[in-house]
Amino acid sequence: MRMIEMPLKSKLNIQFSTEEQIQRTEAAESIRNIRILLNKLAGENFARVSDTIQNNFAYTEEIVERLAKMLFNKCIKEPKYIHLYIKLADQLFKKFSASTLGQSGRIVVGSNFRRTFLNLCQEAFENRQSNDFFNDLSSDMTEEERAFRKRQHILGSMKLIGELFSQGILTDAVLIQCMENMQSEKNEENAEIMANLLLITGKRVYEYFAFEARMTNLVKRPKLKITKLNKELFESYIDYLVSIKQNDKIPARIKFLIQDIIDIRDKDWMQAFDKFPLKNKKEVVFKKKTKSLELPLPSEEKMDEKKNLNKDNAFGKSLEKYYKTQFNEKLRVLFV
């Protein structure tokens, strides 16, 4: 039987110049290296890593836009380190300032970083109830997994807005708009978002009001952009949550969250609310080693017994030697 020869399918061949290929390769390499640096960012190496990100790359509009998206996703998915990411974002806002002009009088490359970053926050807020915004989630996920990821993304973006306001990057108009939008419909999701925003911003807002009323020892005014927000308006948001707390349909976890706000407010927001205190690598390693260490430590009674023994006594010397051995062994295991 003679084989039928099938014509070869024509391939779409797009020719790029050598210069364009080099630029694409360099951009991809820069984006990859920036992603690696963001993954390494920690409290102890923040100065070095942030300086590398700002000064060691030839930024183009494409790289700046990708950097803004990567940093936004980091803030959403890793709220434990959101303070570090916002600190880096603030530095990048200043580096890529739209008011910085080149020699020709035109805005320099990178001026869209702030706009891209804040637009992502706005889109996440405005489209939080739209399923189309979360179409990029894997189709293999179950409904529960998709709902959890969606809730995580929404809460993360709202917490990011609260942190940006607390750092003086966003104005109070954004916070007021968010709060009014949450009050438009009473449901579990809106109550949780409001509670988290109040917990994040409450301490800084009350410090600002106390400074304005000269009722604090703060020497410097808190760095907040407040023009419309006042104490009575902020209190009304808390009173609104208190009224929601009486609803039996609200889950217990949200009721406890609202109760946390009430308790902290009663203490004039002086109690720091930080679920994720940052620690450097040495503190974490030290804690892990001490937690796993199971060497016996002398009790108080035996320590008193040791002090009362005569050093010339042979038993006293042997006991002292035993405790020294135990202590030295503990140090050796701990710091090897």
Q: Provide the domain limits for residue 308.
A: 283-335
Provide the residue type at 120 as one letter.
L
- 89 three-class SS: helix
Same domain, 259 and 183: yes
Residue 286 confidence (pLDDT) above 90:
no
Q: Is the predicted pLDDT of residue 301 greater than 90, yes or no?
A: no
pLDDT value for 219: 63
Among 261, 278, 295, identify where a domain stops: 278
Per-residue pLDDT at 154 exceeds 90: no
Distance CA 293, CA 335 (A): 11
Count: domains in the chain: 3
3-state secondary structure of 293: coil
Tens digit of pLDDT for each residue in 210-269?
Answer: 877 776 666 677 778 888 888 899 999 999 999 988 888 888 989 999 998 888 888 877
| 253 and 310 fall within a common domain | no
- pLDDT higher than threshold 80 for residue 163: yes
Closest by Cα among 322, 294, 295 to 306: 322
Decide if pLDDT at 334 tops 90: no
211 and 127, same structural domain? no
Whether 179 and 266 map to the same domain: the answer is yes
User: Are 41 and 82 found together in one domain?
Assistant: yes
CB of 178 within 8 A of CB of 121? no
Q: What is the pLDDT of residue 35?
A: 92
| Whether residue 85 has pLDDT greater than 80 | yes
Residue 146 lies in a domain: no
Q: At 262, list the tokens.
A: 């009430």
3-state helix, strand, coil in the chain (%, to 5): 65, 0, 35
Residues 260, 293, single domain; the answer is: no
Indicate whether 37 pLDDT > 90.
yes
Dig out the tokens for 124 from the structure.
Answer: 């996440």
The model's pLDDT over 91-147, given as tens digits with 9 standing for 90+, comes to: 898 888 754 444 444 444 445 788 888 888 888 887 776 666 555 555 667 777 777
Tokens of 122: 């706005």
Instruction: Check whether residue 304 and residue 258 sit in a common domain.
Output: no
Token pair listed for 215? 């009722």
Q: Give the pLDDT band of residue 188 (cuts 50, 70, 90).
A: confident
Q: Is the dihedral of CA 153, 154, 156, 160 positive or negative?
A: positive
User: Tokens 């202590």 appear where?
Assistant: 327
| 8 Å CB contact between 244 and 186 | yes
Write down the pLDDT at residue 49. 92
Same domain, 295 and 274: no
pLDDT above 70 as % of the chain:
64
Contact 231, 209 (CB under 8 A): yes
Contact status, residue 99 vs residue 114, Cβ threshold 8 Å: no
Instruction: Say if residue 217 is in the same domain as residue 295.
Output: no
**pTM for the full predicted model:** 0.67
Output DSSP code: residue 80. G
pLDDT for res 48: 93
Domain match, 53 and 31 both: yes
| pLDDT at res. 38 | 92
Q: Is 158 exposed, middle or buried (0-12, 13-18, 19+ CB in 10 A)?
A: buried
Does 288 have pLDDT greater than 80?
Answer: no
pLDDT of 157 higher than 80: yes
* Judgement on whether residues 257 and 309 belong to the same structural domain of the protein: no
Same-domain check for residues 218 and 304: no
